[in-house]
């Protein structure tokens, strides 16, 4: 991730109804709903989570700083949020889930901005990420192929009206060792709670967030809004570098209308918010194809086939489809880690 800041003792998470969760809700929050009012000290409109820090008066009249954690800025932007939705000095009432282990945290499920004198509700920012969509490709037409015949994958590819449901994969076909490791999974142990960078499968296969692809003569560059990851993948077998070791060693090629990327040397890593840890024997094959949806416009389909003799009994598939969005701008990453 691009920026890691240690502030309050916390563990990041999101409620289960947040489809764009960066890690498990249970890592940070209980199922108990609470309400807190306070003055906003800082508002962070960034991925992986929109964050508020606010001063809350406790039962003894003392001020304490609470952390309010929302969903990804990517989703809240679709709901109409921006960097100006909340201002330092605003009085807000937050309804959400209580922090795990008594931490001064609350999840951002409902927000009311209050009049500081009358306590009247001035406005309620929407939390519905499907209320407003970033303009997708309904009225956009781009060629299926580049002039040299390669599939035209260049551009920003985002979610469509059907949202993250485009991301589709079955549960991992674990062998005995993989199932035993999964049974021990505790969301608090997720490396993404501490703002560590994800592995390849989680970044490239599991993400519901937008992806940008750049095609060059000898390489492709794939950038991810979630986690801020960037991959440069060449069409020849180059030595792996320490900088990209967490994403493995990848080689690309074209097969007709398909971009194929094979990756090896992947470190052992959890592959999503539920854990689903795979071993360092895992390898992947990604295929990217261009489609044109008659109602939603240009689309890229990605299928990832994952093989892991260490923890799987057979190959495991992840699939997503994303729509072309002209002029789409990524929201930067600013992750807040626990002490």
What tens-digit pLDDT sequence spans the chain (339 residues)?
333 333 333 333 333 344 455 657 778 889 999 999 999 999 999 999 999 999 999 888 899 999 999 999 999 999 999 999 999 999 999 999 999 889 999 999 999 999 999 999 999 999 987 654 444 445 678 999 999 999 999 999 997 655 555 666 789 999 999 999 999 999 989 998 888 989 999 999 998 899 999 999 999 999 999 999 999 999 987 765 554 578 899 999 999 999 999 999 999 999 999 999 999 999 999 999 999 888 888 999 999 999 999 999 999 999 999 999 999 999 999 998 643
Q: What is the pTM of this model?
A: 0.87
- The whole-angstrom separation of Cα 308 and Cα 19 is 27
Query: Using CA atoms, how far apart are residues 39 and 68, in angstroms rounded to an integer?
Result: 12
The DSSP secondary-structure symbol of 120 reads: -
Which residues make up the CATH 2.40.128 domain(s) of the chain?
A: 155-324
Q: What is the DSSP string of 168-235?
A: B-PPP-B-HHHHHHHHT--GGG-GGGGTPPP-HIIIIIS--S-EEEEE-SSEEEEEESSTT-EEEEES
The C-alpha atoms of residue 135 and residue 261 are separated, in whole angstroms, by: 29
How many CB atoms lie under 10 A from the CB of residue 132?
13
Query: How far out from the chain centre does Cα 328 lie?
Result: 16
For the domain 155-324, what is the CATH code?
2.40.128
Q: Fill in the DSSP letter of residue 17.
A: T
What 3-state class would DSSP assign to 4? strand
Q: Write out the residue limits of the CATH 2.40.50.140 domain(s) in the chain.
A: 4-132
Superfamily name with CATH number, domain 4-132: Nucleic acid-binding proteins (2.40.50.140)
Question: Considering only CA atoms, which of 128, 130, 94 is closest in space to residue 110?
Answer: 94
- Displacement of CA 54 from its chain's centroid (Å): 25
């Amino acid at each position: 991730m691009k920026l890691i800041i240690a502030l309050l003792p916390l563990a990041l998470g999101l409620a289960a109804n947040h489809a764009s969760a960066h890690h498990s809700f249970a890592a940070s929050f209980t199922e108990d709903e609470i309400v807190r009012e306070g003055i906003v000290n800082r508002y962070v409109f960034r991925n992986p989570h929109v964050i508020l820090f606010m001063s809350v008066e406790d039962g003894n009249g003392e001020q304490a700083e609470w952390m309010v954690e929302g969903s990804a800025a990517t989703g809240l932007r679709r709901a109409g949020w921006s960097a100006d939705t909340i201002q330092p000095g605003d009085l807000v009432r937050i309804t959400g889930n209580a922090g795990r282990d008594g931490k001064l945290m609350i999840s951002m499920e409902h927000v009311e901005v209050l009049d500081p004198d009358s306590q009247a509700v001035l406005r309620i920012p929407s939390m519905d990420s499907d209320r407003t969509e970033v303009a997708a490709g309904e009225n956009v037409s781009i060629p299926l192929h580049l002039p040299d015949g390669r599939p035209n994958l260049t551009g920003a590819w985002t979610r469509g009206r059907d949202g993250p449901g485009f991301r589709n994969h079955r549960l991992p076909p674990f062998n005995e060792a993989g199932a035993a490791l999964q049974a021990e999974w505790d969301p608090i142990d997720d490396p993404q709670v501490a703002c560590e960078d994800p592995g390849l499968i989680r970044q490239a296969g599991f993400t519901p967030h937008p992806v940008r692809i750049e095609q060059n003569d000898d390489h492709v560059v794939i950038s991810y809004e979630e986690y801020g990851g960037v991959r440069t993948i060449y069409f020849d077998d180059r030595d792996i570098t320490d900088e990209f070791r967490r994403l493995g060693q990848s080689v690309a090629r074209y097969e007709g209308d398909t971009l194929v990327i094979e990756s090896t040397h992947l470190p052992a890593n959890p592959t999503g918010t539920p854990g689903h840890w795979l071993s360092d024997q895992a390898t992947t094959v990604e295929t990217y194809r261009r489609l044109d949806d008659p109602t939603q416009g240009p689309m890229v389909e990605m299928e990832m086939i994952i093989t892991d003799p260490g923890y799987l009994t057979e190959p495991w598939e992840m699939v997503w489809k994303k729509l072309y969005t002209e002029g789409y701008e990524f929201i930067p990453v600013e992750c807040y880690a626990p002490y």
